[in-house]
Amino acid sequence: MKLRSPLLLAAAVLALLTACTPGTGGGGGGDGKSFEFWSFSAINQKLTVEAYKAKRPDVEIKLTEVGTSTETAQSLTTALAGGKVPDLVLIQGDNLPQFVEQPQNFVDLRTLGADEVKGDYLDWVWRQSVAKDGEVLGVPTDVGGMAVAYRTDLFAAAGLPTDRAAVSALWPSWDAFIETGKRYKQTTGKAFTDNAATSVFYQAVNQVSEKYYSEDRKLVYSTNPQVKAAFDLGIKAATAGITSGQSSFESAWSAGMAQGQYAAVSAPSWMLNSIRSTAPDTKGKWDIAKIPGGSGNWGGSYLAIPKRAKNPQAAWDYIKEMQSPQGQLEHFNRVGALPSTPSVYQDSKLTDAKDPFFSDAPTGKIYTESLLGLKPFYIGPDSAAIGQEFLNAITNVEQSGGNPATAWDDALRAIKNAIGE
């Protein structure tokens, strides 16, 4: 029997939402136009909602940012168990598989026209939302092409190159990235990157050909040498003295970014908006280089409609409009999230896009190139929980004096306790 994470936090969040939003899940009382939308924070879905309302002023959308992607998934789990559900929910890719195993809880989007738009999306991304009997539970909103955002002013002060091609050449591998960090630390006495868990391990483990599950859907997290190699890189970075020990998206991480306490952060395309909003006064001081290893994908999300939604058609109308190839291209131009619709990858609005916040870096070109040569791996129902325990083990070494020699075994024990196998 698999043991899931406690849902006390989810229950508390859901209770708060229900108390503060009368009619939660009703989305306007089932009028066929208005709907309620749950998203997670830090990705600015508000801009997309506002863009839709400008096109459809007759539609009322109640957007609630529940919390982190994990908290949003937990709250959805609680709601599906008997609470009031939203009409539309954004689910992060690593959390999606646990819901794909419960197709009875969601509208099969084929009944609303999903088969008509299926060909618009990257096939390997679309497949992740398809249940075993063919039900389509979600439409992909974006993919998480990889890169490294770095501070040109801090690199210059450390005697490092600042040109993005020259910076990319510094780290063809993760070992070279760590060595660059040591060079930076030796020169400046300051941290090179934010943390080892997400800026090294989580990038490296998302570049593998097989991750926590095999292609035939068997758990291999404890025996897969690719996972162990990525974990070892995380431990190497954690013990090299090059990180600031600030976990991603926490308050210290945000403050550290704004204050220039670290010079580089691994940044999938969707994180660019977080950097802009977290450190607005650093505009023009950042640039973007290639990720060590050249390619990979971290993240990407899906829009799904719970079975008990009162306004499924209104939610689908939103999906069809805002997640069309043109809709995703417009979203990229608003916030930098990389489309999951390959037909726009040659569009000049993407290929010629330059981001002034990041020194006019050609973000569309950089991030689409990071998807070339990518070999997608199967993401299973416990992938998110497994990844979290690996992150926890590396963070324990980095921030709490954990033993690097036992960190791998510590992680495996924690994973077994979390998922039951």
Q: Indicate whether 123 and 153 sit together in one domain.
A: no
pLDDT in tens, 233-280: 999 999 999 999 999 989 999 999 999 999 999 999 989 988 999 999
Q: Indicate whether 190 and 335 sit together in one domain.
A: no
Examine the pLDDT at 125 and tell me if it is beyond 60: yes
CA distance 175 to 198: 15
Q: Indicate whether 254 and 159 sit together in one domain.
A: yes
CATH number for the domain harbouring residue 398: 3.40.190.10
CA distance 76 to 11: 10
Examine the pLDDT at 188 and tell me if it is beyond 80: yes
CA distance 67 to 395: 21
* pTM of the entire predicted model: 0.86
pLDDT at site 36: 97
What's the average model confidence in pLDDT over 305-317?
Answer: 97
Place of tokens 């209104």: 314
Q: Which residues contact 348 (CB under 8 A, 6 or more apart)?
A: none
Q: Which residues contact 93 (CB under 8 A, 6 or more apart)?
A: 128, 144, 299, 300, 301, 302, 379
Q: Indicate whether 242 and 390 sit together in one domain.
A: yes
User: Is residue 277 in a domain?
Assistant: no
User: Is residue 360 in a domain?
Assistant: no
Given the DSSP bridges, would you call strands 264-266 and 139-140 parallel, antiparallel or unpaired? Answer: unpaired
pLDDT in tens, 129-149: 999 999 999 999 999 999 999
Q: Indicate whether 155 and 128 sit together in one domain.
A: no
Phi and psi at 404, nearest 5°, equal -65, -25
User: Is residue 85 in a domain?
Assistant: yes
DSSP class of 110: G
Domain boundary among 328, 351, 374: 351
- CA-based angle 372:377:379, to the nearest 5? 130
Q: Indicate whether 31 and 130 sit together in one domain.
A: yes
pLDDT in tens, 332-358: 998 889 999 999 999 999 999 999 999
Q: Indicate whether 62 and 165 sit together in one domain.
A: no
Alpha-helix runs per DSSP H in 336-405: 348-351, 363-369, 383-400
What's the average model confidence in pLDDT over 289-308?
Answer: 94
User: Is residue 412 in a domain?
Assistant: yes
Domain boundary among 351, 374, 391: 351
User: Count of domains in the chain?
Assistant: 2
Can you read off the two tokens belonging to residue 159? 């005697």
pLDDT-derived band at 14 (thresholds 50, 70, 90) equals: very low
Q: Indicate whether 259 and 390 sit together in one domain.
A: yes
Q: Indicate whether 19 and 65 sit together in one domain.
A: yes
Of 119, 172, 171, which is closest to residue 181 (Cα–Cα)?
171
Q: Indicate whether 160 and 236 sit together in one domain.
A: yes
Of 46, 149, 219, 72, which is closest to residue 359 (Cα–Cα)?
149
Range of the domain at 119: 8-143+299-351
- Considering the chain, what is the average pLDDT of its residues? 91
User: Is residue 173 in a domain?
Assistant: yes
Examine the pLDDT at 77 and tell me if it is beyond 60: yes
What's the average model confidence in pLDDT over 103-114?
Answer: 98
Examine the pLDDT at 104 and tell me if it is beyond 90: yes
Domain boundary among 331, 351, 371: 351
Contact (Cβ atoms closer than 8 angstroms) between residue 229 and residue 174 = no
Q: Indicate whether 169 and 76 sit together in one domain.
A: no
User: Is residue 281 in a domain?
Assistant: no
pLDDT-derived band at 30 (thresholds 50, 70, 90) equals: low
User: Is residue 216 in a domain?
Assistant: yes
User: Is residue 258 in a domain?
Assistant: yes
Q: Indicate whether 398 and 261 sit together in one domain.
A: yes
Place of tokens 């039951």: 420
